[in-house]
Each structure stands twice: as structure tokens, then as C-alpha cells.
Amino acid sequence: MIDTQGSEQAIRVAIIIPTYDHARFLGDALASVAAQTRPADEVIVVDDGSHDDPGAVVAGFPGVRLVRIDNSGLGAARNVGMNLASAGYALFLDADDVLAPAAIEASLRCMAAHPGAGFVYGAHRRVDARLVPTSGPHLNAASPDTYRDFLRGNPVGMHATVLYDRAKLALCGGFDPGLKRCEDYDAYLRMARRFPVASHGGLVADYRWHDANMSADPDDMLAWALKVHARYRPASSDIEDMRAWQQGHRGWLGFYANAAWQVRSRSQRAKKWKQRIKALRIAPRATPAAIARRTLRKLLPPGAVHRLRRLAGLTDAPAPGRVNLGDLARINPISASFGFDRGTPIDRCYIEAFLVRHAGDIRGRALEIGDASYCTRFGTEVTRQDILHVSADNPDATIVGDLSQPGLLPADAFDCMVLTQTLQFIYDMAGAVAEVHRALRPGGVLLATVPGITPIDRGIWGESCYWSLTGQSARRLFGEAFGAENVEVEVHGNAYAATCFLQGLALEEVNRDWLGQSDPAFPVIVTVRACRR
């Protein structure tokens, strides 16, 4: 079995591209693989009995392996590629889609941050036949209860955004060749029932929409989605699972009934009524609802449509103009000191949970900024403690100066550095990160946290607060010094957490369960674990 924790095989990535009569698109797919910031270790094209000539396209891309099989369907073709690959991770790219340049890099970072995951997935966007974007990035982020997420629907949305642990996928049976459609959804459900699943906000793939898309036939897609979904109907005694499954059943009916009533291209107009009649037969209750929704959107003002959606339980947001700001209807925040005067600042829950997870790294000769409180609380086997401070007035400081100052820290000296909420005060942040890398011993670890969405200190520290980071900027900053493969970045926070933190509410007075649901669009805290190889 493949070791996903440390072997060379485990950190290799295979890109597997099944193709059936899509040679006209295949060159774009292969070009996107060749343009990866972190190259693929294997690229396998599986020709599923095509009538065109994918071999002529593959010949233009050295190192790509072409395998020809009799036409057996998408699931079987993917299994062939999976079994031929030797890499520990596998990404399945359809021949008519393309990868974003950092697809492999972003997916590997997410996998490293979630050891034990069966698969991880990122964002995708829709593009037209010429690869012109028609939407922004789309992501339904994974929750802590991913299996029920998949019972409710398919949060992945596009298969090419998924990076699988290949051994775990094989252990779960790979893809069911008996499924003509939705074989990826079936694999998600089997794996999510057995292994953790994680997501990240990086753009992984572009989903090309054209006249020959398999998903362009809503009634056929609905029939297969319901067939797969029915396989996972829980026992009636499993109340929460059953509730999620029933929600998913209604969701699939409504989604494809609505899709059947949309006309996306001229070539579909000729068969639109045949398609709609099929949808009415398959989803007799959902189809009239879809027609009513589309009609009401045209006839009613936006506020009325919103109220109807809320009554139907489709949104919990108040109607436009009906938001009740309550205690938040104020210019000045509730607390002007990050919530210290009310209790524990909200960002501390993310910082301290991060240090708890990586307490085993705080060992040997350790360095912390300002004092040694976190190393003392979370360190396991610290043998020597250094404290860096910018001012010599700190009596506990063993090293005095600016972290970005060349040569301030001894080279190859530290087993661990703990830099919490520090780097934003250093103007030459890139220089400081480079110095940290130089000062760590080979195998040494940096544990850093940086603010994202944050108030600025009103006192002396506000005068030297220069930066806030996103997950993307942190990955690039630390990746340039340590190498992207040696950096794990996580983004913590959501709209609720950011609102509460900006207002200065304390941890003791908010809903902690809501704080734990991460939304990469609202980065309150960004955590970084970087290892010097």
C-alpha cells in the first residue's frame, strides 16, 4: 500500500486524461498540464476507443503516455489510468477541460495540510468553447461533516478539481464501470464515508462548456444522479443521515428540472421541448416548481422573490433593505482593543489551535518573539530557549534587533521558530522570511501566524503595522524561501468570525462552533508551517 506520509512515491502526481472523440480539445488539456508551476510526474492519456486521432495530439507532448482501449466508458477508462499510474496522487482531467497553472501545487499543499484525507478539491470556473471565462471561481467548501455534504448534493462540482490519494481510491474500488454517468459522484460518496475530505480556495480547473458536454442532457444526468444517490439511502433509524439524503433527493430533482428549462445554445433549442417533456416525466413535482421559479423571477420584484425563497427555506439572508444591524449599527467598534477588554480575542482560538496541532515541532533549540509564552505552554522537548526582541529594554531578550536584519540570527542554529502575529510589523517581510530559513537547521520548522482581516492597533504598534496576508500571498512568500513543497498554509475564519473580530467581540461571547467553519474568502488568520529541507 502507498505510504501517503513521506515516501517519494507518495509525493508524486499522475495526471490521467480519458478521451473519447475529443482530440480537438486534447491539445489544450495537455498544454495546461505542461504549464504547471509544479510539474506532473506522470501524464497518461487513455483513448477510450475514439474515432478521431488523439495519438497525433499526444505526439506533440514528449513524455506523455498514450494507452488505447476498446470503448468501455469513462469509469473504466479512469480505472485503466489509475492502475497504470505509479504516483501516490492522481488527478483526472477530462480531455475537453484545462487545469489552472497552480493546480497541482495548490492541491498538494491542501493534501499536506490534511494528512489522511482520501481526496481534496479546489475551485473551478466555467469557460466557453474558446476557453473564455463565463463565471468567476466557484467553490462549495468542505465542512467537517463531508459525507452528509455529499448526501445533500455534490459540493465538488467539477471532477478535475479533485486530487486523490490513489491508494485510498483503489481501496474504495475506484470508479464503477457500470455507471454511464455520475461515476465520480459515486466515488466521492464511497470515499467520504471512509476517509476525511478537505477543500481549498485555489483555482484548479476551467470547466469548458460546449455543445457536446455529457452534462448537457439534464434528463439523462438526473436519472443517473438519482440512481447513484439511491445507493446511499441510509436506514430510517439514522435520522440525520436520512434528513441529509432526503434534502439531496429533492435537490437533484430541482436542479435538473430547472436545467431542463434553460436553453444555453442554438443547437439545444431544437430539442428543448423533448428535453422538457422528459424532465416532467422524471421529476413531475420538481419541474412545475422550476417553471414557477423562472416565471416569478421575471414577473416579481427582487424583494418579493427573496421573501419567497426565505419562506421556502432556500436562504437565511434577510431581504434587501431589511437587514437589522442591531448593536452593529455603529461607527466605532464595540471594543477598540481587539476584545481584550471583554475577554479573549477571537483570533487567539485559531492561533492556539494551530500551535496545539504542531506542538511536536516545538523542541530542541527554539526561538520566539517578545517572550517564550507559547514555547513554554506548547513545547514538548525544548532544550534551549531564545527570545528575539526589537528593543534592548526587554530584559528577557537573548537576541536584539530586526528579524529582517542580515546576519542577526546565527545560521543553521534553530530546531523551531514560533512567530505569531509578528511578520506584519516587519516592512521587509520577504527578507525576514529568508533570514528565518537561513537560521533554521536542516529539518527545522517555522510555525508562523499572520493576520488577514484585522483591526489595526490604535497605539504604538499601529504605526509599524505594514501588512495583512491572504492564503495565496502567504504560500508565495514562504514558498519562495522554503520551496512550495515544504510549506503548509491554512486560512481560518469566515464572515461571522471576521465581523465579530472587527467589532472586538470576545471569544467567550460568540458561537465557537461557527468560528470553526473556514471560508477562504474571509481570512482572519493565516497559519504557516514551513520546514527547511
* pLDDT bucket at 9, cuts 50 / 70 / 90: very low
pLDDT digits (tens, 9 = 90+) for 293-336: 555 566 666 566 666 666 665 556 677 677 888 899 999 999 99
Q: How distant is the alpha carbon of residue 143 from its chain centre?
A: 11
Q: Hey, what domains does the chain have and what are their CATH numbers?
A: 1-216 (3.90.550.10), 217-315 (no CATH), 347-531 (3.40.50.150)
pLDDT above 70 for 258: no
pLDDT digits (tens, 9 = 90+) for 77-109: 999 999 999 999 999 999 999 999 999 999 999
pLDDT of residue 462: 86
pLDDT above 90 for 67: yes
Higher pLDDT, 435 or 518: 435
User: Please, where are the H alpha helices in 235-372?
Assistant: 239-260, 266-269, 272-282, 286-299, 302-311, 347-357
Taking the complete model, does pTM exceed 0.85, yes or no? no
pLDDT above 50 for 71: yes
* pLDDT bucket at 484, cuts 50 / 70 / 90: confident
The DSSP bridge partners found for residue 126 are 207
The helix (H) or strand (E) run that includes residue 117 is none
SS3 207: strand
Other beta carbons within 10 Å of 252: 23
Amino acid present at 202: G
- Cα torsion 399, 403, 405, 407 to 10°: value is 60
Backbone angles phi, psi at 301, to 5 degrees: -65, 155
pLDDT digits (tens, 9 = 90+) for 119-166: 999 999 888 888 888 877 888 888 888 899 999 888 998 999 999 999
CA angle, 91 then 92 then 95, to 5° = 135
Mean pLDDT of the chain: 86
List for the chain the helix, strand, coil content (%; round to 5).
40, 20, 40
* pLDDT bucket at 450, cuts 50 / 70 / 90: very high
- Locus of grid cell 465542512: 143
Residue 45 DSSP one-character state:
E
Alpha carbon separation from 175 to 91, 92, 188, 198 (Å, rounded) = 13, 11, 10, 20
